[in-house]
Amino acid sequence: MITKILQNLPFELNADELAQRLSVPDALREEFDDIFAEALAVANPKVIYTIAPVEITGEREVRVGDITFVSKVLAVNMENVKTAFPYVATGGRELHDLYQSKSDDLEKFWVNTIAERALGAGLANGLQKIREDEATGQLYAMNPGSLPDWPISQQRPLFHLLGDVMAQIGVELTESFLMMPIKSTSGLLFEAKEHYTNCSLCPRENCPGRRDPFDEALVREKYGLDEKADTVFNHLEW
Same domain, 187 and 219: no
Q: Where are the beta strands (DSSP E) in 91-197?
A: 139-142, 172-173, 179-180, 184-191
Instruction: Answer with the residue of higher pLDDT: 147 or 88.
Output: 88
| Dihedral over Cα of 91, 122, 211, 111: its sign | positive
Q: What is residue 193's three-state secondary structure?
A: coil
In the prediction, which pLDDT does 127 show? 93
Share of the chain above pLDDT 90, in %: 70
In the prediction, which pLDDT does 231 show? 37
Average the pLDDT over 215-226 and give the result.
Answer: 72
Task: Count the Cβ atoms, other than its own, within 10 Å of residue 6.
Answer: 20
Range of the domain at 219: 201-238
- Using one digit for the tens of pLDDT, what is the confidence trace for 7-43? 988 888 999 999 999 999 999 999 999 999 999 999 9
pLDDT category, 236, cuts 50, 70, 90?
Answer: very low
Structurally, the chain folds into a number of domains equal to 2
Q: What value does the mean pLDDT of the chain take?
A: 88
Instruction: Answer with the residue of higher pLDDT: 238 or 74.
Output: 74
In the prediction, which pLDDT does 225 show? 67
Same domain, 94 and 121: yes
- Domain of 163: which CATH number? 3.40.109.40
Same domain, 107 and 162: yes
Same domain, 39 and 124: yes
First and final C-alpha spacing in the chain: 28
- Using one digit for the tens of pLDDT, what is the confidence trace for 157-197? 999 999 999 999 999 999 999 999 999 999 999 998 777 77
The least confident of 69-73, 134-138, 144-148, 206-210 is 206-210
Same domain, 88 and 39: yes
Same domain, 27 and 78: yes
**DSSP string over 39-81:** HHHH---EEEEE-EEEEEEETTEEEETTEEEE-HHHHHHTTT-
- Using one digit for the tens of pLDDT, what is the confidence trace for 116-127? 999 999 999 999
Distance CA 88, CA 170 (A): 10
Judge contact between 139 and 194, C-beta under 8 A.
no
- Using one digit for the tens of pLDDT, what is the confidence trace for 58-114? 999 999 999 999 999 899 889 889 999 999 999 999 999 999 999 999 999 999 999
In the prediction, which pLDDT does 226 show? 58
**Residue 36, amino acid:** F
